[in-house]
Structure 1
Amino acid sequence: MIQVFDTAPDGLQPAPKDPRMIAAGYQVSVREVNFGAVTDRESLMLAFLSGLALTQSFGRNWDALYDVLTDPDLRPARFALLMCDYAHFRNRHPSLAAPLETTLLDAQAEATRLGRQLWLLIEEADSDPNAW
């Protein structure tokens, strides 16, 4: 069975079972962002502030998020963003999910261009891969 970390990051991907354990075996650093309590852009940015352990100086906008995901001084070369409860968030807030996904995919492309890897993994409580 091919694990997600056997291949280059490719868009938003379903998280494997026990993603933290598998990532450790591949020397991939993982940070988790929980979308369960996100109701608006401010709470979305707070979820990233908390999940990525950012300082209060984080700009809380799309450009600032892109910057923290692509800055080699802030992120390891092999990094996975584990997005919990993302499909439900996406269904509840499509107008927030669209610019978020653009930002995340742009950051992933920039990481690849710089010879780095940024996996965008979706972990759902119900583990329904068809949910997104």
Structure 2
Amino acid sequence: MMNVFAHPPAGLQQAPHEIRMLAAGHQVSVREVVLTGVRDKEALMLAFLSGLGLTHSFGRNWDALYDVLTDPEQRPPRFALVLCDYDVFRRRNRQLSAQLESALLDAQQNVGEQGRMLWLLAEEPDSDTRHW
């Protein structure tokens, strides 16, 4: 699989294996948001709060998420957001995942216009390491 960090971000992409090693080699900061078990917007916002290390003052809405991802004071210039267990989340929550993708893609575009980079990476658990 090609190294996603060797190219500018392009929408929601499949996360490479050994993502942290690849990211380190390209000076990309990585944060993971675990979507396992997320079934509603509140749980989704809590997953981002936890994954991004936000304070409880985080507004827990689409605008607040967009602001957090596009604020140069809060995010490094080369930043990868890894959405863990995204495929299952998307199948289970079609409308919510469409809203999430819209907010994330808008943020990615804004960050790009600032001359910075925001990779959006979907990661699936490996079949041999899945916990049942």
1:71-82 alignment runs, 5 A limit: 71-82=71-82
- How big is the shift at 1:39? 1.3
Instruction: Supply the distance in 2 between the matched residues of 1:66 and 1:29 (Cα, whole angstroms).
Output: 18
1:130 aligned partner: none
Aligned counterpart, 1:38: 38
**Dislocated runs of 4+, deviation >6 Å:** none
Q: Structure 2 CA distance, aligned partners of 1:30 and 1:118? A: 10
| TM-score normalised over the length of structure 1 | 0.94
Query: What is the rounded CA distance, in whole Å, between the counterparts of 1:75 and 1:119 in structure 2?
Result: 12
Structure 1 residues without counterparts, runs of 5 or longer: 128-132
Q: Secondary structure at the match of 2:38?
A: coil
Which residue matches 2:56? Answer: 56
Task: Tell me the distance in 1 between the aligned counterparts of 2:73 and 2:118.
Answer: 14
CA distance in 1, matches of 2:5, 2:93: 29
1:46, distance to aligned residue in structure 2 (A): 0.1
Q: Give the share of equivalent positions with the same residue, in percent.
A: 65
- 1:126 CA displacement: 3.9
Measure the CA separation in 2 of the matches of 1:85 and 1:37.
9
Which amino acid in structure 2 is aligned with residue 59 of structure 1? Answer: G
1:29-54: per-residue Cα shift (whole Å, max 9, x none)? 00000000211100000000000000
**What does 1:1-132 align with in structure 2 at a 5 Å threshold?**
2-126=2-126
Distance 2:17 2:117 in 1: 20
CA–CA separation in structure 2 for the residues paired with 1:125 and 1:32: 13
Unaligned runs of 5+ in 2: 128-132
Which one-letter code corresponds to 2:95 in the other structure?
A: S
- Distance (whole Å) between structure 1 residues aligned to residue 122 and residue 103 of structure 2: 16
